[in-house]
A and B are shown apart, each in its own frame.
Chain A
Amino acid sequence: MADHSDGTPAGSHAVARAGRSDVEKFQDPGLAPHRLRLADTDPRAAKRAERQVAILFGVSVVGTLLFFIAYFGVRLDDTIATLRLQNLLLGLGVAFAMLGIGTGIVHWARALMPDHEVSEERHEIRTERDRVAAQRIVEDVLEETGIKRRPLIRNTLIGALALAPLPAIAVFRDLGPLPGNALRHTMWKEGTRLVRDPTGTPIKASDVTIGSAFHVIPDGLNELEHGKLEEKAKAVVLLMRLNPESLNPSPGRENWGYNGIVAYSKICTHVGCPVALYEQQTHHLLCPCHQSTFDLTQECKVIFGPANRPLPQLPIKVDSEGYLVAQSDFHEPVGPSFWERG
């Protein structure tokens, strides 16, 4: 079929001119002839459709009844199973009630209502006469205000309108306090015991075996009257013990741990999710939200993912009773970066 043109510019002499003049186009044959449906010609089919619609509406009535049976019949006790059963029956009731009406009406419309397609003319959105008249009005109105002739009025009005919304912004100032130093400090200070989250039991250095990990909060957090969640959101710590040879502390941080026990902030430096997953074999910490991965053997340096900064380390030591305590607060702000962080 070598004479087939596939319509591409290169392959067809017919194409280059196509679509330009109406002469070469197919003429619109007009609406396709209407085809009668079964129900239009056969009264029995119409009767059948009528019955089907009525049955669907009947299904809806049954659905509504089912809802009431479920609502009053199923007594909620303290088990999830009863709740699920009631939810299922209520839902099925509503679903049948709605689907019965919906499918019934649509079936009615499709099978029995006239299905002749109608053609209607589109009218112009606006006539040229209206446009001219409207333009005239705008010009006249502007002229009558005299705003073009009196720039003093115009300019002072613009100035006033520009300033007037400012109070509407300023009034939101008291939505919250200023950050101040809040993002730079946590509850940790020298001598604060490391206790388990959420029970609050202190941890002895001898309890921490190699390979184990503890979720830690500062002692006294659970007893706070106010701001418990706010303090917890900054102060949570992961405590792990490695073989001391696997740790490679940088100068000045050699004694921030104790016998291979190290404590790092649990708040991801990316956007603040808890870095809750500890891979014991690889000594990696993984944030489940965005998969930032921190290497414990390199002072929690980022080795994968969207975080940029290592997790801050909490310097710890052992008190006279053998419990783990903080040497000080974190030496840098924990959690996500912010402009003033430095």
Chain B
Amino acid sequence: MSTATESTYRPATKVGRVTDFVDQRVGGSPILREFGRKVFPDHWSFMFGEVALYTFVILLLTGTFLTFFFDPSMAETTYAGSYVPLKGVDMSVAYSSSLNISFDIRGGLFMRQVHHWSALLFVASVAVHMLRVFFTGAFRKPRELNWVVGGTLVILSLAAGFTGYSLPDDLLSGNGLRIIDGVVKSIPIVGSYISFFLFGGEFPGSAIIGRLYVLHILLIPAIILLMIAIHLFMVVVHKHTQYPGPGRNDGNVVGYPLGPVYAAKAGGFFFIVFGVVALMAAAFTINPIWNYGPYDPSPVSAGTQPDWYIGWVDGALRLMPGWLFGFPLEWHIPLPWGVNTLSLNVLLPALVPAGIVFTVLFAYPWIERWITKDDREHHVLDRPRNAPTRTAIGMAGFTFYCVMWAAASSDLVATHFHVSLNDVTYWLRALFFIGPVIAYAVTKRIALALQRKDREIALHGRETGRIVRLPHGEFIEVHAQVDDYKRYKLVGFESPEPLPEIVNSDGKVTQAEKLRARLSRVFFEDRVAPATPAELEASHAHGDHEIAESENLKEVAH
């Protein structure tokens, strides 16, 4: 090595010497130069993704602790731990070791509760983060692929949650598995085979807990970690999106530098999330498995609920009728080799709603791109009101989900509000179809109304609440003009017009193009244009007596 390449830099401090030691060996300085002051936009709604990441870290930490004590065996044992009501009861080793974690290991119950609460919060924050990305249009070019990675993370988080929920082998989770078994058996042709392979024989068998355990602690978290790495890598490549406002455009990124402010806020937030989860685990019992007892195929308690994220699939199962106006939804199909059974009453609700939700979810960036023919990069987010049709579609989907989710608690709704269980189900069945339509219409109108309000404020100022009587007796409310920065936030958006059919190279308008144009009209026909400087000028020049006269007022008063 030639002396010319050797560093002449002499670090002055001890920290500097250590850093330099590492840098000379692994070359960290270009990374630090790139990221040390990297700018991150700040907004409260960017927090949800952080919550998801941090709860996942908490899940890894507490989950590792739990694996040291949990035994996923389904072998039969007799409970001899310290929980008196279950002493001498026959149960699986898995359930017994879950009880031991709760009752005989100091801090074990706390770890279980932190793990369960973070799991619930993890799925929730992933879902809310996804809604934030949808409603602000953050999935648009160049972030479509990261949206797909995010959608995959949603599915993985559901899988992680359900496999973990089943591990203690208590009565409640065992019934959950039995429902899964029933759904699996309804799959045409291969259903009963898959069921036997999954459970290692007849339900419940003695294999399923061990198999779910491997999925839960190894395979699924590994894939989630990989997906998170890809997700964050793409965030770095794209740089973060930012909300619209003065000084922000698609060519820049405005915010705080990573070091020190953003790193401190984000790092501090990890401890806050951990603290909040710890507080929940300290004060609120979650999944008290000792109340449920070991799994037994015979008993079941009324009013039991799955973890919240499974609710929508369970709700769909509840909503589907077995008979529709005297028409059976289980078909017995005569085939040359005999009669085969197709249980549409199980198969449809288990597959179709989830299929619709995830298909639309994954495809949506491309659907909107096709309709709008918008091939530009977008780094400035849309305020949801400024994309009324997208916001309406999102709310329709959200309502569709929520109706199914509510249906999973139909029995509790009935008992709490003293209404007929059957009526609750009938109403929810109707809402399943009507709810999204109502949500679409109402949301679109609300978004347009909010846009008009923005125009009003941009042009005529905000209401101050000060009522003034003029010399000739008229009462007016004084409006205060907003400053240029606030106004820009209200007017700095795009309001595209419908894009009519475009003739292709053969001089024809294809059917697909006609459909696209029709959808473009649906998207953009009802629109509110941003206020223009000319309009502001006009409102100042004539007719805007509130503003004009509020200024005269001072002269009158003196």
Contacts and interface: CB of A to CB of B under 8 A. Distances in A.
A95 B278 contact: yes
Contacts of B379: 122
A101 B319 CA distance: 47
B373 interface: no
Contacts of B452: 6-7
Contacts of A266: 298
Nearest to A91: B282
Nearest to B538: A3
A215 B532 contact: no
Contacts of A337: 185-186, 330, 341, 343, 346
A109 interface: yes
Interface string B360-379: 00000000000000000001
A144 interface: no
A165 interface: no
A276 B297 CA distance: 11
B282 A90 contact: yes
B198 A175 contact: yes
Dominant secondary structure at the A interface? loop
A204 interface: no
Interface residues of A, number: 109
Contact of A98 (B278, B525, B531, B535): B278
Interface string A50-93: 00000000000000000000010000111000010011111110
B246 A32 contact: yes
B318 to A, nearest CB: 5
B77 interface: no
Contact of A176 (B207, B251, B296, B495): B207
A87 B261 contact: no
A79 to B, nearest CB: 8
A87 B280 CA distance: 11
A128 interface: no
A298 interface: no
B491 A26 contact: yes
Interface string B243-261: 0001101111111110011
A201 to B, nearest CB: 15
Given A103-B268, A109-B268, A338 B345 contact: no
B201 A230 contact: yes
A150 interface: no
A120 interface: yes
Nearest to B349: A306
A18 B200 contact: no
A232 interface: yes
A327 interface: no
Contacts of B103: 76, 83
Given A121-B251, A122-B252, A308 B207 contact: no
Interface in B189-212: 189-193, 195-205, 207
B510 to A, nearest CB: 27
A117 to B, nearest CB: 6
Given A102-B272, A288-B301, A176 B282 contact: no
Interface in A101-136: 101-106, 108-110, 113-115, 117-122, 125
B30 interface: no
Most chain-B CB neighbours within 10 Å: which of A236, A276, A308? A308
Given A102-B269, A117-B255, A119-B247, A91 B300 contact: no
Contacts of B455: 5-7
A306 B317 contact: yes
B225 interface: no
Contacts of B303: 288
Interface in B328-373: 328-330, 332, 338-343, 345-346, 349
Interface centre among B323, B342, B410 (most CB of A within 10 A): B323
Interface residues of B, number: 143
A224 B535 CA distance: 86
B196 to A, nearest CB: 4
A137 interface: no
A305 B321 contact: yes
B199 A26 contact: no
A208 interface: no
A236 B300 CA distance: 13
Contact of B531 (A7, A32, A100, A268): A7
Contacts of B301: 288
B275 interface: yes
Contacts of A183: 192, 202
A227 B206 CA distance: 9
A270 B346 contact: yes
A273 B298 CA distance: 9
B221 interface: no
A24 B300 CA distance: 68
Nearest to B448: A8
Contact of A309 (B113, B199, B330, B526): B330
Nearest to B205: A230
Contact of A76 (B106, B202, B343): B106
Contacts of B151: none
Interface stretch (B3-11, B131-139, B173-181, B430-438): B173-181
Contacts of A120: 38-39, 252-254
Contact of B298 (A5, A102, A236, A291): A236
Interface stretch (B21-29, B159-167, B439-447, B481-489): B481-489
A114 B256 CA distance: 9
B318 A87 contact: no
A19 B146 CA distance: 29
Contact of B282 (A15, A95, A307, A338): A95
Contacts of B514: none
Interface string A244-275: 00000000000000000000001110111110
A203 interface: no
B304 interface: yes
Given A230-B205, A274-B298, A308-B323, 18 more contacts: A18-B529, A26-B491, A91-B281, A94-B278, A99-B279, A106-B272, A109-B261, A118-B37, A119-B247, A232-B297, A272-B181, A272-B203, A273-B178, A274-B297, A290-B317, A306-B345, A306-B349, A341-B341
* Closest A-B pairs by Cβ, 9 of them: A91-B282, A271-B182, A102-B271, A105-B268, A99-B275, A98-B275, A31-B247, A102-B272, A18-B529
8 contacts: A7-B452, A7-B527, A87-B113, A98-B275, A102-B269, A106-B268, A109-B265, A125-B238
